[in-house]
Amino acid sequence: MRITALTGGIGGARFLRGLREHLRTRADTWAGADITVIGNTADDITLFGLRVCPDLDTVMYTLGGGIHDEQGWGRADETFNVSTELAAYEVPPDWFTLGDRDIATHIVRTQMLRAGWSLTDVTAALCTRWQPGVRLLPMSDDPVETHVVVLDDSGAREALHFQEWWVREQAKRTAQEFVYLGAAEAKPTATVLDALRDSDVVLLPPSNPVVSIGAILQIAGIGDALRSTAAPVVGVSPIIGDAPVRGMADACLSAIGVGTSAAAVAGHYGARIAGGLLDGWLVAEEDASTSAPAGVIQRSRPLLMTAIEDAAAIAGAALDLAIELRR
């Protein structure tokens, strides 16, 4: 049983940790199942000459056991000597905190990229150490960066790198528009397209529909591969009630004119029978009475991933819905 999931950062990584746990505890039913993760790389940023891939690293560290669990990003047991020294030299930026252990990951990645390795191969090499228990694939080996259009004091449009908007400014200036630099030229890797074609189940975890899942869908060919795969496609709502579980999904959704609700996100993804993505949609109990687009089978259950058992139960419910749809 081949399972493929498109994912972004923290929420997606926690969902995947639950999915892996679910398969392990239900090894009787799911023996031999494997997980392929198609990771968003449009949050990537180059700092101090190093290529940082936040969403790939969050999945790798979370599933590899090295994540700073409360933060959901960066390494556990970190020190910040390099960052402190860089600040002493007054070398910017100081608003994106890179820990000493995390910097080693970016050095290995950067030197392998410079030696000509693809990001897919670099990611596989880094995962040899971390053994995440999934195959982690960047959505593309070509660079893509999400930039956010905001208004400056004079009301003129100004573009910021996603990390500048989200981390440096804490999203305080309203996002007017998201621009995915490089997406028009970027190609999905053959490995990504094969995974989507050959999967038995495709899952859309509760990642940000705009800057995580949405960025992956900007890569030509990936949307088509999702719409044409024989696998059922089941999404998990990142919105509970009228609020995102975490992060900035509401600020992103409003920028693209999509309401902050499970039903609005499902409408944004669309029903596969109407040319969209979804066959199934998992919503929180609070949203059980809302309706997904015609043609999408909706189920509801608690969706808060407080402990790994919660994430495992949610992932299991998504998987069960997909299996139901396969019949």
Backbone angles phi, psi at 273, to 5 degrees: -70, -15
Q: What are the beta bridge partners of residue 204? A: 235
Task: Give the span between the Cα atoms of 143 and 187, in whole angstroms.
Answer: 10
Residue 96 near ligand FO1 by CB under 6 A: yes
The residue among 97 and 110 lying less far from ligand FO1, judged by its C-beta, is 97
The residue among 54 and 232 lying less far from ligand FO1, judged by its C-beta, is 54
Residue 214 near ligand FO1 by CB under 6 A: no
Burial class (CB in 10 A: 0-12, 13-18, 19+), 123: buried
The residue among 54 and 188 lying less far from ligand FO1, judged by its C-beta, is 54
Q: What Cα–Cα distance (Å) separates residue 115 from each residue in 24, 178, 184, 223?
A: 37, 32, 25, 31
- Among the listed residues 4, 6, 8, 188, the single contact to ligand FO1 using CB under 6 A: 8
Residue 52 near ligand FO1 by CB under 6 A: yes
> Which among 162-170, 187-195, 253-261, 299-307 is the span making contact with ligand FO1, rule CB under 6 A?
162-170
The residue among 252 and 321 lying less far from ligand FO1, judged by its C-beta, is 252
The residue among 163 and 199 lying less far from ligand FO1, judged by its C-beta, is 163
Task: Give the span between the Cα atoms of 305 and 14, in whole angstroms.
Answer: 7
The residue among 36 and 163 lying less far from ligand FO1, judged by its C-beta, is 163
Compute the C-alpha angle 150/156/161, nearest 5°: 35
Residue 98 near ligand FO1 by CB under 6 A: yes
Residue 73 near ligand FO1 by CB under 6 A: yes
Residue 281 near ligand FO1 by CB under 6 A: no
Backbone angles phi, psi at 321, to 5 degrees: -65, -40
- Among the listed residues 21, 57, 141, 250, the single contact to ligand FO1 using CB under 6 A: 57
The residue among 231 and 249 lying less far from ligand FO1, judged by its C-beta, is 249
Residue 178 near ligand FO1 by CB under 6 A: no
Residue 9 near ligand FO1 by CB under 6 A: yes
- Among the listed residues 14, 36, 37, 54, the single contact to ligand FO1 using CB under 6 A: 54
Task: Give the span between the Cα atoms of 234 and 325, in whole angstroms.
Answer: 9
Q: Are 7 and 304 in contact (CB under 8 A)?
A: no
Q: Are 65 and 44 in contact (CB under 8 A)?
A: no
Peptide bond preceding 93: is omega within 30 degrees of 0, i.e. cis?
yes
Q: Which residues bind ligand FO1 (CB under 6 A)?
A: 8-9, 43, 52, 54-55, 57-58, 73-74, 96-98, 102, 163, 166-167
